[in-house]
Structure 1
Amino acid sequence: MLKRARGWRRDWQERGKLERIDLYSRFTISSIPWLFALSWQLAPFKDDIRHEPLPLALGAALLLVSLTQCLLSNRNVRPSYEHYLGVSVFPTRRMLAPLALLLLGVVLLATLAGVDGIGSPGLLLMSLNAPMPFVITRVLLIPVRTFVIESLLLTALTTGALAAAGVRGGPLAGVVPTTLFGCVLVLISVRPSAWSLSVMWQAEEARDIQARLAVAEERLRFGRDMHDVMGRNLAVIALKSELAVELAQRGRPEAVDQMVEVQRIARASQQEVRDVVRGYRKADLTTELAGAKGVLQAAGIECAVTGDDGAGLPAPVQSALGWVVREAATNVLRHGDPRSCTVRLHVSADAVVLNVENDGAPAAAPGESGSGLAGLRERLGALDGALDAGPAEGGLFRLSARIPLARTAESAGTPHAAARDVSRMALLEERR
């Protein structure tokens, strides 16, 4: 027995707060019919039921029926709760036995009153207890309006049976409010308890969904950043490796320099991947413009950077445009056979516009089938910006990004998107 008690205590401690509330609520609902049966059904045996064989036998039979109803009610509490919460559907056949016992109890009560075997106080207590085990589970299965109608019908049934047994006057009139009071008591105690429990479970489910959405968002961000970080670097590594092979086949010593550069880029890529994983990485516009120009020129593509330098732009704008320059340079290296590329940055009082144009583009728009441009649109969308990509006049391909400065000036004091990602990840770790 002590070992079992320790097991119950351990099981209780392992449950969450909401699971404890759920268990407490179900236990309370299961205890109510037993408390009423052992008080309202036993009390009349002392003074109200005549101590004669027939009245005592009828009272004992009525008590046995009430206790059986309590057992059936306890069996139905869990499925009725799950039906109310929308977890499962309550089998209708499980209410047939409780309904039959309720009708049997009303018949026994009417018979006991008909033989003048019970006084008025005891009759009212037993009529109050008669529907309790049945309606405790019934109230969770039907709408409130239907339950009120059924309570009125049950009151009429009980009153009619007692009237047919010969009960008249005050005792019969008192049965009506007494029976209704029992039904209303169940309605205002059991139903709100189940409603509160359903609200708490829905809130818990909403928190779980919110956490899963945050995790999914973080995964998308991570995948997008990995694509942006590794796309250009891998393209440059492949290009320089091919160049090193050609130089080595010709016996040129410059092949060593190219492989040293490949090694440097690979190590830089490793650090960038670590930064992405930590969530701290951000793209700097000035650095990305210089890097794109150097990479394209190293690949034999003539590159010109014109317009404003963008040094005074807010950090979120510089970061977003830096990613645009990086993705544009990656697409120029990967797609078509370009010979020249032009990057123009124009900053006005209302907006900043970045245009990247290159020749030698294929007929299909590069990047549209991948995730690169989609990731850029997500970044620019966070700043109310827009991205356009497609063929331009003269056989060129143009990628244009525009970000309004009015909104970004208002949000310049807000944390960078990477910092928000870090905060989100910290929150997720705390929830885990």
Structure 2
Amino acid sequence: MRTLGRGFRESDDGSASPCGEKRAGFRTLVYGAQTVAAAGVALLVFLSVLTGRESWFARLLALACAAALAVVHLTWFAGGRAPRAALIAQALLGFGPMLPLGAAWSTATGFFAGGLLLAYPPVRAVPGALATCLAAGVVSAWHGVSVHAGLAGAVTSGVAALTLFGLGSAARLVAERDGEVRELKRRVVAEERERFARDLHDLLGLSLSAITLKGELVDRLVVGRPAQAREELAELLVMSRRALADVRTISAGYRELSLDDECRAAADVLSAAGIRVTVARSGIGDLPREVATALATMLREGVMNVMRHSTAHWCAFSVSTEDGTAWLEIVNDGATGAAGGGAGSGAGLRNVHDRVEALGGTLTRETGADGTHRLVVAIPVCRAG
């Protein structure tokens, strides 16, 4: 048993459990019923000939033709659109023996009528199937010199055609459904991989950058200032434990970030990088979980990009709530245009932009002529809640 996405379990044989087992059982039932129906119609045709006065050679020929009709139907018409050669074969096997055998063979023409219904759209197939049944009735009436025989031939041909068409259509629907389920599984796997990659970038990028900075700082302090180095090492251990917790949330498929904790962590990371930090927070205690997590993720991405894609000496960020909208603003110097766009650059920005849009929010960024970069996120609290 393996897991596809959140809560979607699939058994080793490819069927989901327990719904997959029911679907597999229904699929087996439909395919089995279709096979039995085709074989049953062929058997009825042969028994009608067998009980007549025909010679044994004619009976053996009838058996071979009936079996061929069933094989052609199950091979071509049960699985998809049949080639024209298959229809021609059904027409020849259906009407050819009928000329000498008469009404006893009329049921066999149902294979051709059912094949038409399965092979063509209704606007073309229905008239053709009706004409086939009518022709079977006419030949039966002519051969038996009886209107009753003609009516029986047309009806048995129609019943056989509708039976084969109904079960063939059901088998095709089951096959299409199986294809949709396989596509759904493929999409679930792709979405899960995308989620894992996105969360891995968003959650661990800043933590690993902070650990690297702290490690470099400890390396510089360990000889000349061991006491401060121990303090910085203690903070590094806290950051590493936080990164480990993030890894666990990613693997569990669930994550909820504390906006207050992320504000403190962002300030610590920027300070460790030698960047002067200004933090402002107001009215964020009652934010919905989704909004707080989105802002915390955006703050991580923005701070990480400040360190990676700018030469910032100072950075100011603020988180607030005003008029039913949650705001996050990150401003820093040292941006160098599109290539070094400070808080606005980085591959992860597309991820958080999608998160913000999913909550009905907006994300804007701009770079001033003096190298100041500003990133602003606005998310409506009421809509998200």
Instruction: Please indicate the TM-score interval, normalised by the length of the shorter structure.
Output: 0.7 to 0.9
The residue matched to 2:119 in structure 1 has which SS? coil
Q: Which of 54, 72, 79 does residue 76 from structure 1 map onto?
A: 72
1:146 paired to 2:125: yes
Say if 1:62 and 1:105, in contact at 8 Å, map to a contact too: no
Rounded Cα–Cα distance in structure 2 between residues aligned with 1:184 and 1:69: 19
1:181 paired to 2:155: yes
Once the two structures are superposed, residues 288-344 of structure 1 have per-residue CA deviations (whole angstroms, 9 ceiling, x without a partner) of 112211221222211111251411222222121111111111111212111111112
Match of 1:400 in 2: 376
The 3 A distance-change label for structure 1 pair 133 and 348 is closer
Larger radius of gyration: 1
Match of 2:207 in 1: 233
Match of 1:272 in 2: 246
TM-superposed deviation, 1:160: 6.2
The residue matched to 1:320 in structure 2 has which SS? helix
Match of 1:198 in 2: 172
Q: Which of 290, 300, 304 does residue 326 from structure 1 map onto?
A: 300
1:159 paired to 2:138: yes
Normalised to the residue count of structure 2, the TM-score between the two structures is 0.81
Tell me how many residue pairs correspond in the alignment: 361
More deviation in 330-339 or 91-100? 91-100
Q: Which amino acid aligns with 2:350?
A: A
The 3 A distance-change label for structure 1 pair 28 and 351 is same
Rounded Cα–Cα distance in structure 2 between residues aligned with 1:392 and 1:14: 62
Match of 1:355 in 2: 329
- In structure 2, the gaps of 5 or more residues are 1-20
The residue matched to 1:215 in structure 2 has which SS? helix
Once the two structures are superposed, residues 321-379 of structure 1 have per-residue CA deviations (whole angstroms, 9 ceiling, x without a partner) of 11111111111121211111111233222312111100011222247664311111122
Rounded Cα–Cα distance in structure 1 between residues aligned with 2:190 and 2:292: 26
Q: Which amino acid aligns with 2:355?
A: R
Match of 2:18 in 1: none
TM-superposed deviation, 1:392: 3.6
Rounded Cα–Cα distance in structure 2 between residues aligned with 1:351 and 1:14: 48
TM-superposed deviation, 1:132: 4.0
Say if 1:307 and 1:346, in contact at 8 Å, map to a contact too: yes
The 3 A distance-change label for structure 1 pair 102 and 197 is closer
- In structure 1, the gaps of 5 or more residues are 1-12, 46-55, 110-122, 412-432
Normalised to the residue count of structure 1, the TM-score between the two structures is 0.73
Rounded Cα–Cα distance in structure 1 between residues aligned with 2:207 and 2:360: 29
The 3 A distance-change label for structure 1 pair 104 and 191 is closer
TM-superposed deviation, 1:96: 4.7
Say if 1:353 and 1:403, in contact at 8 Å, map to a contact too: yes
Match of 1:210 in 2: 184
The 3 A distance-change label for structure 1 pair 257 and 330 is same
Once the two structures are superposed, residues 368-394 of structure 1 have per-residue CA deviations (whole angstroms, 9 ceiling, x without a partner) of 664311111122122111112231464
Percent of aligned pairs sharing the same letter: 25
Rounded Cα–Cα distance in structure 1 between residues aligned with 2:140 and 2:181: 52
Say if 2:330 and 2:375, in contact at 8 Å, map to a contact too: yes
TM-superposed deviation, 1:19: 3.4
TM-superposed deviation, 1:138: 5.0
TM-superposed deviation, 1:404: 0.8
CA RMSD in angstroms comes to 3.1
Say if 2:284 and 2:321, in contact at 8 Å, map to a contact too: yes
Rounded Cα–Cα distance in structure 2 between residues aligned with 1:407 and 1:342: 28
The 3 A distance-change label for structure 1 pair 315 and 98 is closer
Q: Which amino acid aligns with 1:237?
A: I
Match of 1:384 in 2: 360
Match of 2:100 in 1: 108
Say if 2:326 and 2:380, in contact at 8 Å, map to a contact too: yes
TM-superposed deviation, 1:286: 1.2
Rounded Cα–Cα distance in structure 2 between residues aligned with 1:67 and 1:238: 82
The residue matched to 2:337 in structure 1 has which SS? coil
Say if 1:69 and 1:134, in contact at 8 Å, map to a contact too: no
The residue matched to 1:197 in structure 2 has which SS? helix
Rounded Cα–Cα distance in structure 2 between residues aligned with 1:15 and 1:337: 59
Aligned positions of 1:304-319 closer than 5 A: 304-319=278-293
The 3 A distance-change label for structure 1 pair 130 and 90 is closer
Q: Which amino acid aligns with 1:210?
A: L
The 3 A distance-change label for structure 1 pair 142 and 186 is farther
Say if 1:140 and 1:191, in contact at 8 Å, map to a contact too: yes
Rounded Cα–Cα distance in structure 1 between residues aligned with 2:140 and 2:166: 32
Rounded Cα–Cα distance in structure 2 between residues aligned with 1:74 and 1:291: 73
Match of 2:48 in 1: 40
Say if 1:128 and 1:182, in contact at 8 Å, map to a contact too: yes
1:28 paired to 2:36: yes
More deviation in 331-340 or 298-307? 298-307
Match of 2:11 in 1: none
Rounded Cα–Cα distance in structure 2 between residues aligned with 1:220 and 1:372: 12
The 3 A distance-change label for structure 1 pair 232 and 42 is same
Which consecutive segments of 4 or more residues in structure 1 shift more than 6 A? none
